[in-house]
Structure 1
Amino acid sequence: MGTDAVLLMFPGQGAQHPRMAWGLYGREPRFTAAMDEVFAAFGEEGEALRRDWLSERPRVPLDHVTRAQPLLFAVDYALGRTLLEHGVRPRVMLGHSIGEVAAAVLAGVFTLSDAAALVRERVRLLTGAPPGGMLAVSAGVAALEGVLTEEVVVAAVNAPRQTIVAGPSGPLAEVERALRAEGFTCAPVPTLIAFHSPSLADTVGPAVAGFAATPVSAPRIPLYSGYAARPLTRELAADPEYWARQPVAPVRFWPALDEILSAGPPGTVCVEAGPGQGLSTIARRHAAVRRGPGTVVPLLPARAGGPDADRAAFATALTTLTTLIGPAVSGRPGP
């Protein structure tokens, strides 16, 4: 099995946690260099991001949009970059929410400096967003139709029985009470904003101008859209509305994942390049993995731990990838 059987997955909002992946910083040279590259791309804000990322008591909580979005982008990008330099050459990449922006940089759609500027502007706009939240519900979309409202909507389809809903704080609380009363299992997603809901439409509208002025290229590594659930073509990548409206549009992660795994070669290796193992858990539910011969390889622990946990998880992942896809994965930089 070669590296062309690899799917790289990049998580988004809700996957963040304090000091995510910090155990690799200063110990894994490629990861360290990539994180420093991102912090430099964020300019003056970069040092504040690094400080809060590494701190036991960050000045700004990691769930705040000014930390969660840029740091998720940074960690996703740095882990993906590290794998590429270890020799992994993915057949396709798929990002969830802000994870798609990190994947787009690795695919060559945006330069890192341009993407950092776009993320910085997105974050600036989102600081003016109305209070809201997101809720994970153990149910399919159809089962929720009678409970959702114009304000509280489907924000992400993560799996056949895992749906994320989002909306303003008050209406979301009412919907949560109704769902629990009907016996649905619910869990809040770590965020202070109703991502992927209409409540952000006015907030992020001005972002179109920035994307329209930013050069884009066709992906050099195939990249699936987590919103359109199809390959990200040069034409789609060049549409500024596509990128600007991502905080408003629902994420269709499962349909995209299903397209990739159903149409791809048997034995796809799904690698989660980001904090936690949320996408790994989803991928394991797919028939191509559940019934074999597909495999899931997360790079980091399932939950926050000390630096040793990060290093052990990453080392185990590299060993597993070497076994699965051969000697291309090594300690030497890739071509």
Structure 2
Amino acid sequence: MDAPNPNPRPRPPRPRIAFTFPGQGAQHARMAAGLYGVSESFTSTMDHAFDAFGPAGRTLREGWLATVPPADFDDISYAQPLLYAVNCALGTMLTECGLRPDVLLGHSVGELAAATLAGVFSFDCGLRYLSEYVGVYRHAPRGGMLAVAAGPERVEPHLVPGVVVGAVNGPRQLLLSATEEALADVEAALRGAGVTCSLARARQPFHHPVMRDVAAAHAGSLTRPPLHPPHTTLYSACTGQEVTDELATDWQFWTGQPAEPVLFGPALEHLLSDGPYLLVEAGPGQSLTALARRTPAVSRGEATALALLPARAGGPDADVEAVRTAMKQIAGHGCDALSPDF
């Protein structure tokens, strides 16, 4: 029998855990629906959301579970309440499985889920706010967002009036925002210049200054539930920095976000600067994981990014198997053994 090693190799320190939450554009038919009725935690959170939305909750639930989603699934009335609920349900499921995040970061409406998990406002307050938010921003002009695989210097010569950079997701990953006509014009100009671009799944010009006018005209429709300093480190894709207690408790910060650009790329770079990190995308799809894997920190092995769910809806067991696989990967990075509630 071999003698025990008197100098065993020390176990590497556990990386810090960061949950990331996607926003508008990540929604797809039956996103995370394979967990509904399987995970007690996930199901309970989703049912709570549908009940809180009142009569609209039944419509949201039916649209979410439909194999073929309704025609307006990408509209704010469907996409954003469902994204908020699914993000929160997945984040809650993970924490109840024993995985406690050290940092939370969301993209656009995903930032509301991050703030909820950080304790800035309750899930009920977030649901009420989203319900009112939809009522306000349905008055926005028709428009959308264009994903562009280029940096600002390549894009700027082709920007037509009314088009703004709505999100900076990485060095060569931008989202342009505009009303319908201007968006079509800039898409044609960029394609003509050989720039790769594609329409994002949005029907309103989020993160465009026009949203300030919409909010100003309908601000009275939004309540101001109590806000609290975050109990978990919270990064903002609106500022690109860590959220201070003062900022977290300022409702103008939250209500102003639809008109401000998303700085997810800079926020992620700043977050990863004090690694090592394990990034877990706790939302539908794998868009944020793909962005994270392009960062220098992940390329150098100083951080790891993994997604909880498949890139798109699959077979009836795809979501369950993806979560089980992700849990094993997380455990392999020095975290305590985790097991989902199914």
Please give the TM-score of this superposition, normalised by the length of structure 1: 0.94
**1:294-326 residue CA offsets vs partner (Å, 9 max, x unmatched):** 211101101222322211111111111112133
Distance, in Å, in 1 between the alignment partners of 2:51 and 2:102 is 29
Deviation at 1:134, TM superposition (A): 0.6
| Structure 2 residues without counterparts, runs of 5 or longer | 1-11
Q: Structure 2 vs 1, CA of residues 54 and 147 (structure 1 numbering), >3 Å: closer, same or farther?
A: same
User: Could you tell me which residue of structure 2 aligns to residue 135 of structure 1?
Assistant: 146
Distance, in Å, in 2 between the alignment partners of 1:242 and 1:213 is 12
User: Could you tell me which residue of structure 2 aligns to residue 63 of structure 1?
Assistant: 74
**1:198-249 residue CA offsets vs partner (Å, 9 max, x unmatched):** 2222222356556673200000111101111111112112222211121111
Distance, in Å, in 2 between the alignment partners of 1:3 and 1:194 is 41
AA at the equivalent of 1:137: V
Q: Structure 2 vs 1, CA of residues 216 and 328 (structure 1 numbering), >3 Å: closer, same or farther?
A: farther
Secondary structure at 2:38 match in 1: coil
Deviation at 1:292, TM superposition (A): 0.3
Residue pair 1:12, 1:97 contacting (<8 A) in 2 also: yes
Secondary structure at 2:50 match in 1: helix
Distance, in Å, in 2 between the alignment partners of 1:40 and 1:3 is 39
2:330 maps to 1:321: yes
Q: Structure 2 vs 1, CA of residues 302 and 39 (structure 1 numbering), >3 Å: closer, same or farther?
A: same
Which of the residues 143, 164, 170 maps onto 1:153? Answer: 164
Alignment root-mean-square deviation, CA: 1.9
User: Could you tell me which residue of structure 2 aligns to residue 305 of structure 1?
Assistant: 314
Which of the residues 203, 211, 215 maps onto 2:214? Answer: 203
| Structure 1 residues without counterparts, runs of 5 or longer | none
**1:260-297 residue CA offsets vs partner (Å, 9 max, x unmatched):** 001x222x101001111000000001111112032111
Which of the residues 247, 256, 272 maps onto 2:281? Answer: 272
Secondary structure at 2:100 match in 1: coil
Deviation at 1:36, TM superposition (A): 1.5
Q: Structure 2 vs 1, CA of residues 216 and 3 (structure 1 numbering), >3 Å: closer, same or farther?
A: farther
User: Percent of pairs identical after alignment?
Assistant: 46
Q: Describe how 1:48-87 pairs up with structure 2 within 5 A.
A: 48-59=59-70, 61-87=72-98
Distance, in Å, in 1 between the alignment partners of 2:185 and 2:341 is 54
Deviates more, 1:201-210 or 1:6-15: 201-210
Q: Structure 2 vs 1, CA of residues 243 and 207 (structure 1 numbering), >3 Å: closer, same or farther?
A: farther
AA at the equivalent of 1:63: D
2:125 maps to 1:114: yes
Which of the residues 17, 33, 44 maps onto 1:22? Answer: 33
Q: Whose radius of gyration is greater, 1 or 2? A: 2
Q: Describe how 1:144-183 pairs up with structure 2 within 5 A.
A: 144-183=155-194
Q: Describe how 1:21-40 pairs up with structure 2 within 5 A.
A: 21-40=32-51
